[in-house]
Chains A and B, each alone.
Chain A
Amino acid sequence: MRLRDLPAIVYVIIAIGFIFLPVVVLVQFSFQDGILPVPPFKGFSTQWYERVFDNRRLMEALWNSVLVGLLSSLVATVLGFLAAYGLARSRPRFAGAVQYLLMAPITVSYLIIGMGLLITFNMSGIGKSLLAIGIGHVVINLPLTFAILYSQMGEHQANVERAAHDLGAGDLQALLLITMPMLWPALLAAFFIAFTLSWDEFVIAFLLSRFDVTLPVIIWSMLRSGLSPELNAVGTLVFGVSILLALLVEFALRRGRRTK
């Protein structure tokens, strides 16, 4: 370490301080032994976590979030995979247009996507429900799963698929026994990224839910009654799950790089 590096080191420390400040405050005051999540810190207590786990509405919302997240990510990954596979292998004449259409939702605000779905569902009678939220989450995640998987569809896999076809495999066999196993890390990464976004998504879930709500929606309604260490505890748990998912993505992508 040289003197020349000092400004850089100071800058990184300040930047990391800024980036971690809200997270540290969130986590620290989830253990507050008092009723307000603000200084002074009165001592370590896990009472707020007990409150969270005893809160039936919160636990129901947690379960709803997991359910919506798992199913919508599964659908988004399967649709994204099929689309990437179809476009990469058959190269239709209008592939550019299809790609553009599939990526389009990424440029539109979640608020507008949610409102559009609300209007459409009101007209068609599907109504506000977990199903409606799940459909919305597939819409926002499909561009991402498609983009991730499309970027991983290389010539290498195409050659192995061709070999499989020469040995008598049908399309479906080649897809299930060759393409999917080879793309396993990318499929996992796409699935976990989709799950993370669904898990954290608020506006669409807020607009499309009535009685069955997801975790961010219930956190939002708790927020209206002001600051509370219970909110910190829920927030810390949600954050913890997101970090875990992020690490899984990192792990999956790293394995993908190694097997290449």
Chain B
Amino acid sequence: MKRWAYVPALLWTALFFILPLSAMLALSFTERVAGRTVWSFSLANYAAFFTRADGAFVEALLNSMEVTVAVTVLSILVAYPLAYILAYRVPARWQRLLLVLVVLPFWTSYVIRSYSWLLVLSENGTLNAAMTGLGLIDQPIGLGNTRGATILGFVHFFTMLLTLTIYANLVQIKESYRKAAADLGASAAQVFLRITLPLSLPGVAVGAFLTFVLAIGDYITPQILGGSRELLLPQAIMLQIGRQADFPLASALSMILMLVVTVAFLLFARRLKMERV
């Protein structure tokens, strides 16, 4: 029994994960002619990705990459100081409580979270009301339905995620390393740059990888906050399923999305291993 206990989980994964992905892979090499899927090998969908006249798909991929990279960098910049303060400036017995508090909104469902940002950013929303009240602007400005709104919504969520991974890493760094460096005459800045920062990079890398994967594959946040002025890749995929029911093309686009994630994984994996040496 022990020997076979992992088989049900493996079967489940094979049946409901590997098989569907294989079906999509196969489907991505078929073609859709007059609304029907023709089962013969074709690269038409992948060709369509590059050659579509308006370049909409390539643009969607580029948009996705730009947004995702911006989100990853910004989230690290916001989260790192927060994690650092939590780990080193807050008394140990308050740390856990403050950490739970800081990431509490992490548990809002992503539809609700994006909707809440829409409330904050809309033309008659809280932010505009506050800014007009303070006399910063005379006219309310439309902040929703922009790329900035998408990025803001993402940064909000991934700041919490990165705070967790970076904090978990920082508290594991032995205090004696920093003390030794200081004893040997390093300034506070030197201790940070040469001891703490390099040792905390694995935590940053784990969080950054999760951010990249989750952000680039998310449909909800750009759809609710970014509107349809510009498309990100998941929105382009959803359009193929929804309006056109073009599963071969949607599958090909999904394979391209997975390829991007795989490349990112390999880059991060190398980085992580190098840190360990």
Contacts and interface: CB of A to CB of B under 8 A. Distances in A.
Interface of A: 5, 8, 11-12, 15-16, 18-23, 25-26, 29, 36-40, 79-80, 82-87, 89-90, 92, 98, 101-102, 104-105, 107-113, 115-120, 123, 135-136, 138-139, 142, 146, 171-172, 175, 196, 199-200, 202-203, 207, 216, 219-220, 223, 227, 231-232, 235, 238-239, 242-243, 245-246, 250
Given A90-B2, A245-B107, 5 more contacts: A112-B21, A116-B17, A216-B111, A219-B109, A235-B108
Contacts of A89: 2, 5
B81 A11 contact: yes
A231 B21 contact: no
A116 B23 CA distance: 7
Contacts of A83: 5-6, 8-10
Given A83-B9, A139-B13, A235 B2 contact: no
B16 A223 contact: no
Contacts of A8: 85, 89
Contacts of B211: none
A235 B113 CA distance: 9
B12 A19 contact: no
A239 B14 CA distance: 33
Given A8-B89, A112-B258, A120-B23, A87 B241 contact: no
A22 B156 CA distance: 9
- SS of B interface (majority): helix
Interface string B229-259: 0000010011001000001001100100110
B277 interface: no
Contact of B117 (A22, A102, A207): A22
Contact of B250 (A101, A115, A239): A115
A196 B104 CA distance: 13
A245 B103 CA distance: 14
A39 B126 contact: yes
Contacts of B3: 86, 90, 92
State the 10 A-B residue pairs at the shortest beta-carbon distance, nearest first.
Answer: A109-B217, A116-B20, A86-B5, A22-B116, A200-B109, A86-B6, A83-B9, A39-B129, A235-B112, A242-B107
Interface residues of B, number: 76
Contact of B19 (A86, A104, A120, A239): A120
12 contacts: A22-B120, A40-B129, A104-B17, A108-B261, A109-B234, A111-B217, A111-B238, A115-B251, A138-B12, A227-B118, A235-B108, A238-B108
A243 B107 CA distance: 6
Given A12-B82, A116-B23, A139 B16 contact: yes
Given A22-B105, A25-B120, A37-B119, A98 B112 contact: no
- SS of A interface (majority): helix
B122 interface: yes
B6 A98 contact: yes
A202 B111 contact: yes
B182 to A, nearest CB: 16
A102 B9 CA distance: 7
A108 B21 contact: yes
A220 B220 CA distance: 9
Interface string B201-237: 0000000000001001111100010000000001001
Nearest to B78: A15
A242 B2 contact: no
Contact of A250 (B100, B216, B220): B100
Contact of A223 (B7, B20, B111, B217): B111
B115 interface: yes
A25 B13 contact: no
A52 to B, nearest CB: 13
A75 B124 CA distance: 45
Given A22-B119, A85-B5, A223-B224, A98 B16 contact: no
Contact of A116 (B24, B86, B103, B265): B24
Nearest to A121: B20
B101 interface: yes
Nearest to A80: B9
Nearest to A87: B6
